[in-house]
Chains A and B, each alone.
Chain A
Amino acid sequence: MKTKNIMIVGVGGQGTLLASKLLGKMLLTKGYDVKVSEVHGMSQRGGSVVTYVRYGDKVYSPIIDKGEADCILSFELLEAARWVEYLAEGGTIITNTQQTNPMPVITGAAEYPADLDKKIEALGIDAVCFDALSLAEEAGSSKAVNLVLLGKLSKYFDFTEEEWMQAIETSVPPKFLEINKKAFALGANA
């Protein structure tokens, strides 16, 4: 099979690494060759962060380039607009419509462009824009946004619900398990 490319993008501190960790583990159990590339260090401090997940028969490069991503999962709207260029023809972008102002916007040096969700949809691509934050709050914690998004992403993989639940159980602290499971289910059905 041709190597599949998934990008997970967001703002440092949003929990993007958990999503890639979970996916990587599950793809490995399916017998794929897998590479997951992460960003550590300075960029994590509230900066724009990106994680690449690639799987297939044989994966060489650990990164994904422009026009190559089969799916982009974005935790924040501006980041979706920043990285949409990486989407391959026929690919899908799933984005949270939550907006987090970057420092140049906070200081007034730049503006947060208006209606980015509509502009992304107008590109003629398969775009899924939804409010994951409200669903996370409904599940019990604004911090569960990553599980809501993962739930939405789960529709694009042929893993069983049981497999997803197992992966979640081994990746999140027991204390938050119920909230996370609920968030995942809300995302999957959104």
Chain B
Amino acid sequence: MKKLMLGNEAFARGLYEAGCCFVSSYPGTPSTEVTEFAAKYEEIYAEWAPNEKVGMESAFGASLAGRRSFVGMKHVGLNVAADPLFTISYTGVNAGMIICVADDAGMHSSQNEQDSRHYAIAAKVPMLEPSDSAEALEFTKIAYELSEKYDTPVIMKMCTRVAHSQSIVETSDRVEVPVKPYEKNIAKYVMMPGNAKKKHPVVEARTAALTEWAETAEINRIDAGSDNSIGFITGSTSYQYIKEVCGDTYPVLKLGMINPMPVQKIKDFAASVGKVIVVEELDDIIETHCKKLGIECEGKSMFTNIGEFSQNYIAQQLGKAVPAGKVVEDTIPMRPPVMCAGCPHRGLFYTLKKLKVNSIADIGCYTLGAVAPLSAVDTVVCMGASVSGLHGFNKLSKENEAKSVAVIGDSTFMHSGITGLVNIAYNESNSTVIIVDNSITGMTGHQQNPTTGMNLKGDPCTKINLEALCKSIGINRVRVIDPYNLKECEDVIKEELAAEEPSVVISRRPCALLKYVKHNGPIKVDSDKCIGCKSCMRIGCPAISMKDGKAVIDSTLCTGCGVCAQLCPKDAIG
């Protein structure tokens, strides 16, 4: 049956049709929906793991137990899961195992623009790269076959434009795969030096065998052209842009498998065309491979390694004319993402700004605390870095201890904040960690996590108690505040910064966008009382603006959280 599907939905459909039984992932844009769609199939057990490393190890365990398994993550998640990846490459698998990694060229929703193809090469693991939804579905089946035939985990690399574009797929029925019985095999599965030394040559032989497979594999295909003066080598979305610009004029070698790449096939293709041009987003992975084979080609000399491509960009670099639209002459102000009206993080960041504290923050919606006018965040690096970073920032400075906090979300704290807190307790820095608990994983679109009491399938489950967890680690001072209450926020944060031991402040209120959250309803400005002092504007609420010298509140956006009303010196908001 023909259907229009998001790349990520098609990937999940592929998992279903290929008999996948076990999914364990951590959400991350643009990978999240693979797991969410997989969870809709009754035949697939699917869960949110606390982080990508746990997800990958759990998927490995399921493979060992004989069931086709899957773990999904965004590019930076693979950094977290890199440790098991490199060694699962050595042990190999029992039942097939797929790792999805979704890159974000253009950084639509990410903190860096790393190219995950390096991981496949470094870990010596095969990597497939679909270029649309139909391939995302089809390649999933091929990946499981390769995984089982060549005894290896297989990485499927997605990118934003494949993951979040809908295109047409043809679905078919699920084919159940019998459970492969687990057999104890210490030499294969226990990676201590004696065994690992024997496995490394096996891994190299596997890459050689996969290179042979790549020579004739249908997923590395040549689209014939009418003019052989140029031949393109490409993959992923770059293939789509090249076809959009050049149609069937020039031959195109489209690589569906990016590691290992074929040798003879590429040499033969190069010999059949005049000039070879490699088109790939981000780094020069295909180009380097070609050059190692002694093939003269253009690549990064023509196309940038920064950001994502488009059809116009490709056309321009090929010296073709591109259409130009008409432009309004005024400067159009940017519209950056902002914290939503009613966001519980707003009151907290207003308080941190007021107290002039250093905020070592983390990855999530609350990263937006760095945006003007709040500008209340000092640094954001990666998941969990706030808690451990604060420890280092404070440890040798009494002055920093008295005016610095870590800010981390509930889900991010579960992901990799706990170990940082263990370090604070164990190595005794007098640090103040604020957990902004909005009872959901917000930025990626409302996924459950270990603190919410619900699992991925929507069933009630064990709820990790943050207060008890922090206390058991050795933090004696654990306080809970309501971020809508500015006075309470300020008093408690001051007290905890002054305290002579580490503390955790849990700033707790559910995300304003959660369906079950009941709002008070919009509040209004009494324009007779308003003196136009703009105090209410200091919190950066998108519902508040100035009109004719007076503050006005947009009733379609306002939730009635009342944070602005607490700032008004004239009691004009209510």
Q: Footprint of B on A, CB under 8 Å?
A: 11-13, 24-25, 28, 33-48, 59-63, 65-69, 78-79, 81-82, 84-89, 100-107, 109-113, 116, 119-120, 123-125, 142-143
Contact = CB atoms under 8 A, between A and B. Distances in A.
B240 interface: yes
Contacts of B334: 48, 102, 104, 110
A84 B325 contact: yes
A97 to B, nearest CB: 14
Contact of A107 (B164, B323, B540): B540
Contacts of A81: 328, 330, 332
B167 A65 contact: no
Interface in B239-263: 240-241, 243-244
Taking residues whose C-beta sits less than 8 angstroms from the other chain, chain B's interface range is: 35 or more
Contacts of B237: 61-62
B325 A25 contact: no
25 contacts: A11-B335, A28-B3, A36-B4, A37-B164, A40-B29, A41-B30, A42-B29, A43-B108, A44-B445, A45-B337, A61-B240, A61-B244, A62-B240, A63-B311, A65-B311, A65-B313, A66-B322, A86-B325, A88-B323, A89-B323, A103-B371, A103-B542, A106-B537, A107-B372, A109-B372
Nearest to A42: B109
Contacts of B371: 103
Q: For the complex, would chain B's binding face be called helix, strand, loop or mixed by DSSP majority?
A: loop
Contacts of B556: 142-143
Contact of B340 (A46, A105, A111, A142): A46
A162 B537 CA distance: 47
Given A35-B167, A87-B326, 6 more contacts: A36-B4, A47-B336, A65-B310, A67-B312, A103-B371, A124-B326
Nearest to A32: B168
The 8 closest A-B pairs by CB, nearest first: A67-B323, A41-B109, A41-B29, A62-B165, A47-B337, A113-B330, A110-B333, A102-B335
Contacts of A42: 29, 108-109, 337, 443
B330 A84 contact: no
A85 B326 contact: yes
Nearest to B513: A13
Contacts of A102: 333-336
B489 interface: no
A120 B330 CA distance: 11
B109 A40 contact: yes
Contacts of B4: 24-25, 28, 34, 36
A43 B132 CA distance: 22
A44 B329 contact: no
A69 B326 CA distance: 12
B12 to A, nearest CB: 15
B292 to A, nearest CB: 30
B2 A106 contact: no
